[in-house]
Amino acid sequence: MIASGNDYALEAQFELRRGNLAITANIRVGAGEIVALLGPNGAGKTTLLECVAGALAISNGHITISGATVDDPGAGIWQPPENRQIGMVFQDNLLFPHMNVIDNVAFSLRCNGHSKKSARRKAAEVLLFLGVAELERKPIEELSGGQTKQVAIARSIIQEPSLLLLDEPLSGLDALASSKLRAFAVNNLKALQIGCLLVTHDSDFVVEIADRVYVLESGIVTEFGQPDDLRPKPNTPYVADFAGTNSYNGMVRNGQLVINHSFQLQVANLSTVGPVNVSINPRSISLHRNASQGSPRNNLPVVIDSVESLGDITRIVTYEPTPLVIDITTISANELNVRQGEHLWATIKATEIDVEPLAL
């Protein structure tokens, strides 16, 4: 969903300088839309969230939440966090250890004058809506990492904000807890119909949940679009690595692609010559015990560097003759019994190799 007109939970167009970091932001989140904010460590993602939340004042530009301007230095406008109609879940969660779950969730309503009974009733409704009503009376110290995040999300939405900010909700969780929280978020965040700006490093989570994606590198948005837009032709090495896309620079002559002396491929695009950028979708590569026959195929002997299960897909990375990211079904990976250090054959169809002239 992409908003139109004034139907935006967030419009942020601003600049901020903080030490050596300069951020130039132009980000929109539609009402009910989930937008992921990606980028390497130090790119300014959390700082950007802090500006939206009101923890930092911007240098110039404006931030508008559901049509209301909350920060505009040129117009002399600045609203504190409590006046911004936002819910926030940052990495530290900030739950009160001396309160149980329902009182943590009800706390902001109590601060705004609700009686203990009415605040608890509303908190119970929110926990039930999110499917975690069984946690109501639990002390915070008895919660798992994933449950703590669930409670923090419940507390952040109890006042029905226009915008929800989530900073690395899956960080610090083991694989099982991360999987459960991912399912919790996918099942609930869209149902809330609240605009959401999400910072995460989990590419599968982004594909599952995000309507659109912004990539922030060194304080500048380098790419934006739908999650699937990132995979075919990544614009930067970070995006290629995040999306798991194989991206190289090489040289093409007469359909022969040379990436390095030990990595050469046949391509189907015979019209492009000279320096090129090469993209190969990890799902376009297959693995075999022996060299495959057929045309047009490229058969490469490879050595397995790592094997990582991603649910229905297993991600395999090779280190010889060059690093390749290969995504195959987990069923196929189990049948091949792929192990680190093994020597296998990778097959890439010439038609699956995308080459674009390299701008020099």
Which amino acid, residue 337?
A: N
What pLDDT, in 10s, does the model give residues 54-102?
Answer: 999 999 999 999 999 999 999 999 999 989 999 999 877 788 999 999 9
What pLDDT, in 10s, does the model give residues 322-338?
Answer: 788 898 988 899 999 99
pTM check: above 0.75 = no
Between 90 and 2, whose confidence is greater?
A: 90
Q: What share of the chain is helix, strand, coil (3-state, %, to 5)?
A: 30, 40, 30
What pLDDT, in 10s, does the model give residues 205-262?
Answer: 888 899 999 999 999 999 899 887 776 667 777 887 777 778 888 899 888 888 877 7
Asked if residue 242 lies in contact with residue 325, where contact means CB atoms within 8 angstroms, the answer is no
Measured between alpha carbons, how far is 160 from 122 in angstroms, rounded to an integer?
11
> Across residues 195-213, what is the average pLDDT?
88
pLDDT, residue 1, reads 33
Measured between alpha carbons, how far is 117 from 111 in angstroms, rounded to an integer?
13
Asked if residue 210 lies in contact with residue 38, where contact means CB atoms within 8 angstroms, the answer is no
pLDDT, residue 80, reads 94
Q: Which of 284, 339, 331, 283 is nearest to 311 (CA)?
A: 331
pLDDT, residue 233, reads 66
Domains of the chain by range and CATH? 8-238 (3.40.50.300), 244-357 (2.40.50.100)
Max mean pLDDT range (34-38, 203-207, 280-284) = 34-38
Measured between alpha carbons, how far is 107 from 120 in angstroms, rounded to an integer?
9
Pairing relationship of beta strands 8-18 and 21-30 according to DSSP bridges: antiparallel
Asked if residue 277 lies in contact with residue 234, where contact means CB atoms within 8 angstroms, the answer is no
pLDDT, residue 2, reads 35
C-beta contacts of 231-234 below 8 A and 24+ residues apart: 231/281, 232/279, 232/281, 232/354, 233/279, 233/354, 233/356, 234/279
pLDDT, residue 133, reads 94
For the record, the structure tokens of 128 come out as 């039930």
pLDDT, residue 232, reads 62
> Across residues 266-270, what is the average pLDDT?
84
